[in-house]
Amino acid sequence: MVDILIIIRQTLYGVAIGLIFALISLGLSLTYGKMKIINMAHMLFYALGAYLVFTTSILAGNFWYGVILSCIVCFILGMLSEQVLKYLYGKTIEYTLIVTYAILIIGTDVIKSVWGVDFKAVAPPKELTWFIPLLGIEFYRVFVIIICVVLYLSTILFMRYSILGKVITAFIDNDEHLQALGINPRTATIALFALGSALAGIGGALHAPLYAPYPYMASDLIPYSFATIVCGGAGSVTGTLLGGIILGLAYSYSGYIQPYLSPIVTFLILFITLIIKPEGILGTK
Amino acid sequence: MAIKLSMKIIIGVVIVVIVIVGFVMYYLQFVQKGPQLPSQFKLGAVLDYTGVFAACAKAEEIGIKLAIDEINAKGGLFGRIPIVLVTRDGESKPEVQLRRFRELVEVERVHFAMGTCHAGGAYSLMKESIKVGIPFWPSPVMAWQAFNKTERAPWTFTAWPPTWSVGYAMCAFAVKELGAKNVYFFARTDAWGWGIRDGCKAALEKYGGVMVGYDEFTLGTPDYTPYITRMIAAKPDIVVSTTFGGDQVTFLKQARELGLYGVTKVMVFTSHLVMKGIPPEALKGVYAVVFFYHDIPQGLVDSETYRLMREFTEKVISSTGEPPDPYTFVNYVEVKVLARALEKLGKIENIKPEEFEKAVLELGSIPTPKGEMRFNEAGLPIYKYGFFLGIGKGPEERTYAYDYLKIVSVIGGEEILPPLSLLGYR
Amino acid sequence: MSSRLKILKGVSEWIDVIIFLVLLMIVLPPIIPRFLLSDILAWSILVYGFNLLYGFLGYLSFGHLAYFATGAYMFACSIQYLHIDPLLAIVLAALAGALAGAVFGIATVKKGGAYFALTNLSISVIVYYIVLYFLKDYTGGFEGRFINLKSNVIDLTSGEIAYYVIVTAFIMVFVFYKILSRSTFVLLLQAIKENEDRVKFLGYNTFLLKYLAYIISATISALGGAMLVLSHAYVSATTYMPGYNGEIVVMSMIGGASTLYGAFIGAMIYLGLKYVIAAYIIRWELVVGIILLTTMMLARGLGIWGLLEKTLKQRLTILLR
């Protein structure tokens, strides 16, 4: 006899975590789908976002400043990282894998030097810490869902209706045609990186109050990020969203039964998805 | 990036040369270490500077170094053999810890070893110490079964009471001090959680408490809400939780958000390291059991102990800027004690397990920053003041950065140690 | 004249095996601590298994730790619970790897690239959590357990003898790998790497070829796993955390994935670096990362050995002109 409230609660959790997966993986999905660059260092933005929100909550006592700071910092760093990563265009996948892996190791160690190795606690903003009585869930989680959906929708709208967004979409579609139009594809890639990184940073900032940031959080989340992208379909915005939600739900439901079951179930789903439809649920060959 | 092939070769060769040079340097050091007059005493420590347990390594190292500095200030062991600390990163992985330990013994030729942040790893090193012939003392809290007569290496002693004692103290406090008879026990699914549970059961039996609820969680669980919901439903007098480290931070945060504090009392075993990461609102009203605390009210312990504790706290604050963590305290004590035992034994090489054990026991009463302590025959420490009970302070009550708790009670003596009969000594 | 050349060829063929033997038995042991050497050998066996798929076939597996773990735990548990002689347990471990490879390979070898990498990663994650938690009582989980290596045949509890066994296993793997690299089988794999369809048109069952390669790779990796446990007399789940699959790729690429000696060189350099640097610098992860980065950017996928080979060949052809 499973309590209906428990199902609702676990579903909300699953959606929340799934949306965060999707948000932080979106940048990776687009860069991988289009430029075939597996950027393992992308997750550093996620970690950076979490740690920045921690620092601002200590210094300024305000959670929102932290989120905005993460967004801006990661945006700028994303643009910079494009400068570095552009050397990887056209290189073999294995090469980019290792170079970005090396950057990940270095980045993790930089985080350790700056913030130390111990556990950090980030408190969610006071206004949002009340708990919904019946469900036994903090309102903050619901808030995260709302914000992620808003961000995601804005991204989709941005891609479809704004000029820069259209440039990016065109670039993903066919970059040669874009060049024929006289538009420098570099603008698209820079914008892509910046956007993806900023989203990852915000994702990290939002996720931070739900658990404690620690130095290895970037590398630990990489498998989940890959799973999200591949399940949903690399290069597809809605695909990543779908992939994230499905995996988030799987993670949440199995986690209720036994926490160690979550990774197994999540990767089993990835495995099965790959076998049945390798390009992902919404991916195209 | 178009670099000429010849450049690349040069750089590639340089890297290979560096690696080879590194090996050769090691070899040279290795050779020089061979037959050595004991002009220095090498203490090896396998500490987890990286990985899951990274936070505790620093605290342990501070304690060890502090003790070494004090001993060396007087010339070292026997007044003339300085102690040299050699550390290796255990990476929070038992397999790596074992490898580093063997490295310390075979390559660095240490005379004595300590370490790890994790009971399982320390247990393996203790076992290995007998095989390699170098004494080993653990740095973290040990599982109590490790000190069973058939398990324990004779030369191994510890300044930490084992998991059993932690549990005993927690539940004794719960029933005796807080009047909380109905206990809901939250165990971690490993030797840590089960050991604390065993001690708790013993305390409940003695003081007339009842374990009305029991649940297990795995290390690293990110979401405690299903457990917390069950706790709220059970309506116990107190929840005794064995969460530690990052888990404790997460658990307390979520417990507060779910309103567990309004329904029942919550008790955890904690330390400065962990409390650093707990937001003040989440620690408020929580009952915390600590092994050492930097801010004890004056009437709780005798004046000499009070003075010693303050002195130690000042020492650590002046050298690190932060108050001592129990890990620092324990490792400091262990180094001080092993040094005295070696001096009593009269040698630092070719130590036999039984003779070292005898030397330590013969030390009798040993001064520590928490007052006098002595070991029982199982290698466990008897302190007059063992564990302290404190109440977490909310953000408004805190007067300085590390003002986490208001200490209200203390428990100690042989009572809190697992009975020798349980350990196979009677 | 021609017979002389043939004999010469015969001996020089195997000179590298002799060099290895000399290196591993005589030259290196005084310089490099034995426990590090046995670790290097165990890991290089694993990397040889990995290179079979990556170097020849071009399929990058991000989950070979799964087979490393399979071999390790089969070895450990069969000694512990079936009371089998350790030498037999080694064989069992390799067989277990073959079986696991056979089971998982059916699904994984369909495609290369990201598909292959991620399916293997998934397997590695699942295997890790099973040995970490669900089979904890048998495997010892995170804390791990000591393995009693008392054997009736030879004394494996002695570090010396265990080392010789590991060297033997390594030489066997190396010889096998060398012979394999000359075979038509590998030639076909390389052809598949270039263009699988063409090979299919030639009438070959590419799936079967890839499948076979996968099973062999898994067997070798499992053997490596058993060797690691042998050298430590200890097994713990932490070694097989899925995040460390990256290290296998790193070792392979440092040495040179498609070269004959790459696996050994890569393992030696990577583990040696970690060992040497960790002894001096606490921030060793940073230094390793930087060295990795620079090596990759310079050696460009060839690995150090590959780079050396290429330049030597160039110089040689210039000389012989």
Query: Is C127 within 8 Å of C139 (Cβ atoms)?
Result: no
Rounded to the nearest angstrom, the gap between the alpha carbon of residue B361 and the centroid of all alpha carbons in its chain is 21
Report residue B163's pLDDT band, with 50, 70 and 90 as the boundaries: very high
Q: Is the pLDDT of residue A5 over 60?
A: yes
For chain C, the domain total comes to: 1
Does some domain include residue C167?
Answer: yes
Of C31, C142, C311, the CB nearest to B120: C142
| C-alpha–C-alpha distance, residues B395 and B283, integer Å | 9
| Contact B262/A at CB under 8 A | no
Best of A11, A207, A211, A221 to disrupt the B interface by mutation (most B CBs within 10 Å)?
A211
Does some domain include residue C3?
Answer: no
Does some domain include residue C118?
Answer: yes
| Contact A103/C at CB under 8 A | yes
pLDDT digits (tens, 9 = 90+) for B349-368: 889 999 999 999 999 999 99
Q: Which two tokens stand for residue A244?
A: 């994230």
Cβ of B223 within 8 Å of Cβ of A9? The answer is no
- Name the residue in chain A with its Cα closest to that of B1: A87
| C-alpha–C-alpha distance, residues C316 and C295, integer Å | 24
Report residue B41's pLDDT band, with 50, 70 and 90 as the boundaries: very high
Sheet strands (E) in B117-190: 136-138, 182-188
Does some domain include residue C217?
Answer: yes
Report residue A1's pLDDT band, with 50, 70 and 90 as the boundaries: very low
Q: What is the pLDDT of residue A282?
A: 65
Domain that holds residue C164: 33-245
Residue C7's contacts (CB-CB under 8 Å, 6 or more residues apart) are: none
String of DSSP letters for A91-135: S-HHHHHHHHHHHHHHHHHHHHHHH-SS----PPPGGG--EETTT
Best of B9, B10, B13, B23 to disrupt the C interface by mutation (most C CBs within 10 Å)?
B23
Rg (CA), chain A: 19
Does some domain include residue C318?
Answer: no
| C-alpha–C-alpha distance, residues B186 and C234, integer Å | 31
- Name the residue in chain C with its Cα closest to that of B46: C279
* ipTM of the complex as predicted: 0.83
pLDDT digits (tens, 9 = 90+) for B102-156: 889 988 899 999 999 988 889 989 999 998 999 999 999 999 999 999 999 999 9
DSSP one-letter code for B81: B
Q: Measured between beta carbons, which residues in chain B are less than 8 angstroms from residue C235?
A: 95
DSSP one-letter code for B321: S
Q: What is the pLDDT of residue A103?
A: 86
Q: Is the pLDDT of residue B56 over 50?
A: yes
| C-alpha–C-alpha distance, residues A90 and A92, integer Å | 7
Domains of chain B: 42-161+298-382 (3.40.50.2300), 163-290+386-416 (3.40.50.2300)
Q: What is the pLDDT of residue C1?
A: 45
Residue B144 C-alpha, separation from nearest chain A C-alpha, in angstroms: 26
Q: In degrees rounded to 5, what are phi and psi of residue A148?
A: -65, -40
Does some domain include residue C79?
Answer: yes
Which residue ranges in chain C fall short of pLDDT 70?
1-12, 299-307, 319-321
